[in-house]
Amino acid sequence: MARVLIYKDFFRTGRGADRATAALANTMAQRGHEVHVLTQQSAKIPFSVTFDEGITCHAVPMRKRPFARVLNKLLLTSAFGEAVLQHLFPGMDLVKTYSCALQARVKAIAPEIVIAAGSNECVDLLLAGALPMPVIMMFHVYPPECFRKDKFRRASRLRRVLPLVAESQVLLPSHCEALRSYANVPVTAIGNGIAWPAEERLPPFETREKTLVYIAYFTKDKNHSDLLKAFALVEAPGWELHLYGSGTPEWEARLKTLAETLNLGDRVRFMGVTQAARPILLRAGICAYPSKVEGFGLALAEAMWCGLPCVGFADAPGVNELLVHEANGLLAEPTPEAFAAQLQRLIDNAQLREHLGEVAARTARRTWSQAANVQQWDDLLARHLREKPAQLSPDVAQNPVGTENEHPEKA
């Protein structure tokens, strides 16, 4: 068994990345690993997830430096600005300074292996240079999202530190090549795990409520607006749309205003954040999942696990790999009208709802169980604990050659 450190900046929203990281930590601890969790989050702010008692949590909060924050925001929008910050104001580089403090704590904890729970976390850990132990990076998102042109600071620094990573973990097989188009790094695909009982029977179909559910944080990419527009087009007497989640006050107000503008009235209910998704999904009738892009779509996989027929967009990465059209769910072309048409099919056809829900549950329980997930993680950790590859500093590291699951001991 290994001494494992997992670093995630915050656990405060209850989103998929929070839950998936906590589930991984808990399962590793249950398997006998000594697990430490490191965050930026002050002990005064409660976690949005629960960790097993055997897990040790540590915090290294980032110092509040308002002037430095403004300077970073102004300069880290271009390569020239980044060079100015690096060479003229190195002490004002917030992430570099924080990375030094973070590395000091990591070395004090002395893990055998470190897991960075995302791209921002990877930069936090490695911008100050290589660590003396292997670092595994998790991609909770579709990898190209980390390299978007409108995210210069994130993309530039991620490219610098990726060569220091022993291996990257992505959530779906197609993401391996998607990542390699930006950085030629060792990569393996391990999906999110669901720890719910796989042998649990689905509730009798006739007991399900006439509700469409969507559990998602309120952001542009989660695309609640297209869902509201689609639901306004559906003829569904007695059906309600239940939106679980939260966001900034501005986003919530915008969505509620849109619902009023579409004359949806009490057909749409904003349910707030839930910590008990499973009973909600086991009662509901349909899962509407209009997200534009997902790393994996944990909330979608959980809905499938609970036997819900699901509708997503055919062009949405991380949705169109979980849902196979007409097999375990329905996919729509990227318009509210097309999404509404697929919802209408399900509402009008009880047999189709039942059939797709049953197939979705079999797919999810066979493919995304937590037991299978953590075994893949055990294999990944064991491989790097044996290898412990040498690493270079960000300024001199060369991109290593890596291919999906190309490891001699697994050939």
Q: pLDDT band for position 393 (50/70/90)?
A: very low
Give the integer Cα–Cα distance in Å for 159 and 143.
12
Distance CA 16, CA 21 (A): 8
- Parallel, antiparallel or unpaired: strands 34-39 and 268-272: unpaired
Contacts of 361 (CB under 8 A, 6+ apart): 202, 304, 305, 306, 307
Higher pLDDT, 116 or 386: 116
Considering only 109-113, 208-212, 247-251, which range has the smallest mean pLDDT?
A: 247-251
Superfamily of domain 3-193+371-405: Glycogen Phosphorylase B; (3.40.50.2000)
Residue 391 has a pLDDT of 42
Q: Is the pLDDT of residue 224 over 50?
A: yes
Mean pLDDT, range 142-157, rounded to an integer:
83
Distance of CA 163 to the CA centre of its chain: 22
- The confidence score (pLDDT) of residue 326 equals 95
Nearest Cα neighbor of 241 from 149, 323, 148, 347 is: 347
Q: Nearest Cα to 70, choosing from 45, 41, 36, 94?
A: 94
Handedness of CA 78, 81, 87, 92 (dihedral sign): negative
Whole-structure pTM value:
0.78
Sequence length of the chain is 411
34-38, 74-78, 122-126, 149-153, range with the lowest pLDDT: 149-153
Q: What angle do CA 161, 165, 170 make, to 5 degrees?
A: 105
Give the pLDDT of residue 233: 97
Nearest CA-CA partner of 34 in 325, 385, 336, 311? 385
Residue 324 CA to residue 321 CA, distance in Å, equals: 7
Mean pLDDT of 312-330: 95
Tell me the sheet residues that pair with 364: none
Give me the residue spans of the domains in the chain.
3-193+371-405, 205-367
What fold, for 205-367? Rossmann fold (3.40.50)
From CA 355, how far away is CA 54, in angstroms rounded?
42
The answer to which of 41-50, 83-92, 228-237, 393-402 has the lowest mean pLDDT is 393-402
**Residue 39: which of 68, 67, 12, 77 has the closest Cα?**
12
Q: Which of 191-195, 336-340, 390-394, 401-405 has the lowest mean pLDDT?
A: 401-405
Collapsing DSSP states into helix, strand and coil, what is residue 350? helix
> What angle separates helix 16-30 from helix 298-305, to the nearest 10 degrees?
70
